[in-house]
Chains A and B, each alone.
Chain A
Amino acid sequence: MSRSIVPAPIARLPWMVIAPLSILVLFGGAVLYSAAGGSMQPFATSHLIRYGVFLTMALVMMFFPRNLVRFMAYPAYAGVLILLVLVEALGAMGGGSQRWLELGFMRLQPSELMKPVIVLALATFYSTLPAGMVPTWRALVPSGILIAFPMALVLMQPDLGTALAIAFGGVVVMFLAGLPMRWFMAAGAAVTVAIPLAYFFALKEYQQRRVTTFLDPESDPLGAGYHITQSKIAIGSGGITGKGFGNGSQSALNYLPEPHTDFVFATMAEEWGLFGGVLVLLVFALVLRWGLVIARDANDTFARLLAAGMTATIFFYVAVNLMMVMGLAPVVGIPLPFMSHGGSSMMTNMICVGTLMMIHRWNQSQARTGFG
């Protein structure tokens, strides 16, 4: 029997998610190898090393007890908020916008950390809120404040994509916490009205251009529309089976901008075609479904909201990035989880995965104690 060969602690690891994730990261490594012109440097090696480091981190996170996590929720939120302010202050001193803190071994983007932390904070908040107060303003205002502060700080950077990601994670938690449906409807209506206003008054000119270009990329094929056009050319020219590993001309000849970060999917699709794209989509479907199943199986509100919120955060990355490279969304600068080269995004997503594995363990141990 396999049990006798594989030690129990290893066999109990959530292979359901580690296996597909590792396949995706290895695949991403191959794409980065090709994007570097057939070389492990400078992208592929660091990509794989980071995955190893952050997977270890996730496995350690897995063993955090529930109470510690709940206890740490607000301090963590406060800490990341302070980091955001710090970044803003450093940026102001440096005379420009700055989004990261130089830690020496990596550049830490506090706004990235805020994505899982906001979910954690809100999950903690709603799990402590008495059920009867959920449909009242007391359920809305504190969480609204929790979301508004980091959003405002991130928008000042300015980083619209990350601000929207934070809002998305927060709103999904609120939605699943059971707040009245009509609030979301009203908010949806308000946003519909606010978008045109925001476009004209809140967005910087380069952000406005990205939006108009998204709506009509051919209007400026060599300027702002260049990214989208070249990305679509890369995906479209890949066809069903792709041009073959290392044969992508769009990325190799630098027509595709950012072939190793935001547009890594286009780099992949050019060489691996529709098959590669479907494989990537399937892996993400597996991971996200796994996340939602964990949320469904969780035993208490905190775990449920935390799991669902983390899943939603990963989903937001994937959906916005893929819509962007396929010309369905404006270019907002959001990388593709587990494939794009970049430490911060890998860290955020592995925190989400680690959190999910942690809740998975809680679920399992609870079930065992329940039955045992």
Chain B
Amino acid sequence: MIFRRKQQRPKQVVTAATLQHSFNRRTMIIGGVQGGVGVLLAARMAYIAVAENEKYEMEAESNRVNLSLIAPRRGWVLDRNNAPLASNRADFRVDLIPDRLNDSAKTIDQLGSLLALDPTAVQDLKDKIGDARGFQPVEVASGLKYDQFAAVSVRLPEMPGVVPQRGFSRFYPTGPAVGHLIGYVGAASKEEFDEDPSPLLVTPGFKIGKDGIEKKYEDVLRGEPGARRVEVTASGRIVRDLETRDDVQGNPVKLTIDGPLQDYAARRLGLESGSVVVMDCKSGDLLCMASMPSFDPNSFSDGIGRLEYKMLRDDDRVPLRNKVLKGLYPPGSTVKPTVSTAFLKEGLDPEETVFCSGGLRVGNRVFRCWKRGGHGTVNMAKGIYQSCDVYFYHFAQRLGMDPIAATCRDYGMGQEFDLPVLSQFYGTVPDPAWKLKKYDRQWQAFDTVNATIGQGYMLANPLQLAVMATRLATSKHVEPRLLFDKKVPKFRGMGISDEYTAYIRKAMSDVVNGPGTAGRGRLPLEDVQMAGKTGTAQVVGLNISDGRSGPWKYRDHGLFIFFAPFDNPRYAGAVVIEHGGGSGAAYPIARDVMTFMFDPQKGLDALNSYERQWGGTAQERLNRKYAAIAREAGENVPPVPTRDEDIFDQVEAEARSAALRPTAIAGEAVAPRSDPTPSSAPGGGVPE
């Protein structure tokens, strides 16, 4: 049925006429479709060009214009006389943008030959490119000669990702002398960028403060970046400059440091591992905070090279540790003037005497004086200038530990100072409560004995010792400061009468100028006399080492606190020589530093003769050492930790454990050496 019905359907007759008709109709349709498409296109274009014009205009502009930042010049770090401790140097530099490199190994090798880089530098660069974030520029070299700069510039088309720049680099005129104090600068790390994702941080040539003052005052020193607007093609080629805004240099930071003194002290430390702190007695200004050996912050600013790192790492004198703030030492006998002050405060008459026969019996034990033969009758002054241990054992037993501990703290030990530094160790002033809390053990007689001669648990850093010297000299609660300020602050008194202050000053002067333990510390000057107090800190028991010879790390620390002139103190300070073999290593340095303060030429003459023996200035010796290590090591040097922070975290952790080492012998009475001022160092002396 279906089939039938289909057949029955009236068949449409197609003729030429109906085709003509259908053609005309369908042409109309086609024309209509074409017209419709035309209108659609016109409408679409109008929409894009009119309604969305603003959006696309902006996008075209952001295509066309590339904003590149100009790293701001860092503010200078100045010393108290406005001489630069850190400045900027105009510089030709080459950077790499890892993301844009086609063949990084080839490009780096090519740069290496163009810039005459040594193989380890090339290897370092390859390490850095490997870890680098894509867009973060990596510095290849700075401080280039114009010829080298030009040689790279003309080959740019074949080396995508290489960016030669004219800029400024940080310059530390005195190099290693200020390494620990000022710190150094370097390219921002990934962490720093994550914390502050400002495009400035990844601008080629921009350096961020990594340590010390550079890091602490980053926001002051940084300045405002300049900007350059350039027209670029799609492939990144610069067509022309549109406009340039100059950078604004960072503000200077003026320190209380006396640049020449800092440099002198650093150089005078010579081959020793140690620190020198000098303060102004009136204002508390820190004139010098030298810690040696040190690193050269100039060479850190383009990243820490693997050889350099190996050299600093393998040195048992830990050049990366700022010993002024993070070296903790038993103060030894330098604590005795402060202990004497505690006795005076407790009402002890300084003329009250004790008879020293070479030891003191407490209960059933005998504690020995360093002078086995005994000092005879000893009053307070003699106790100080002859450093008689029995005098202090005796009166400490009578007056107790608590007033001694309180006075030590009042004079700066165990204290943290309000200084613009990243961290400072503050050491220990032990007392019965402290020992009970820390070790859960009762305070023993030998603990008091140890503490009164600055051994045992007692630990202080050189800055605290310098503050102690200042407060002893002035009997004022002088606070150290590092930022320069013309205003001289008023300090409260220490509660010591002028008479007693003069008494202590005289006793300390006799250490140097009288019948004391540091006779060769006398200043070679007519009108200025220095006062001081020697100290020798044992780090191991007498059974292991005699403290003077044998392995370096078992030798005694040499300490010296001082002020000058003794009767009207202007400067005070402390010298600590690690494992110097006794205070004889320390006080000659203090003598020369003070000589330099009052008569620079005389000081320099002394220094020059030493440096001839040592083989050049600190900088020269560092450079030579680096060259020697480079010759020996070749390229087989382990790579540097990728973060500078890791390096310094490690250094700090090691500093903490090193500081605790001398307290290992605190479980017993520390028997003092029979000679308090031995010396194995050049320029050392023997007591008269």
Contacts and interface: CB of A to CB of B under 8 A. Distances in A.
B110 interface: no
A296 interface: yes
B60 A132 contact: no
A235 B49 CA distance: 6
B231 A239 contact: no
B26 A277 contact: no
Contact of B14 (A132, A175, A327): A132
A323 B41 contact: yes
A328 B30 CA distance: 20
Interface of B (DSSP majority class): helix
Interface in B1-55: 12-16, 18-19, 22-24, 26-27, 30-31, 34-35, 37-38, 40-42, 44-46, 48-50, 52-53, 55
A182 B232 CA distance: 57
Contacts of A232: 48, 56
Given A176-B23, A239-B57, A288-B34, A274 B64 contact: no
B31 A178 contact: no
B15 A131 contact: yes
Contact of A131 (B14, B60, B239): B14
Contacts of A277: 42, 45, 49
B44 A328 contact: yes
A296 B21 CA distance: 11
Interface in A222-272: 230, 232-240, 249-250, 253-255, 269-270
Which of B19, B50, B231, B232 has the largest number of chain A CB atoms within 10 A?
A: B19
B363 to A, nearest CB: 85
B154 interface: no
B31 A292 contact: yes
Interface residues of B, number: 43
Nearest to B65: A249
B14 A237 contact: no
Nearest to B231: A253
Interface in B40-95: 40-42, 44-46, 48-50, 52-53, 55-57, 59-61, 63-64
B444 interface: no
Interface in A129-168: 131-132, 134-135
Given A134-B19, A240-B49, A295 B14 contact: no
Contact of B37 (A230, A237, A305, A319): A319
A226 to B, nearest CB: 9
A274 B52 CA distance: 12
Interface in A301-352: 301, 304-305, 308, 312, 315, 319, 322-323, 326-328
Contact of B64 (A178, A249, A278, A319): A249
A233 B26 contact: no
A228 to B, nearest CB: 12
Nearest to B59: A233
B234 interface: yes
Contacts of B13: 132
Interface of A: 131-132, 134-135, 172, 175-178, 230, 232-240, 249-250, 253-255, 269-270, 273-274, 277-278, 281, 284-285, 288-289, 292, 295-296, 301, 304-305, 308, 312, 315, 319, 322-323, 326-328
20 contacts: A131-B19, A134-B19, A176-B23, A178-B14, A233-B60, A235-B49, A235-B56, A236-B48, A236-B59, A237-B53, A253-B63, A253-B64, A253-B233, A255-B233, A255-B234, A281-B45, A289-B31, A301-B16, A319-B37, A328-B40
6 shortest interchain CB distances as A-B pairs = A236-B56, A237-B60, A254-B234, A249-B64, A178-B19, A237-B57
Given A274-B49, A308-B30, 5 more contacts: A134-B14, A176-B27, A238-B49, A254-B234, A285-B35
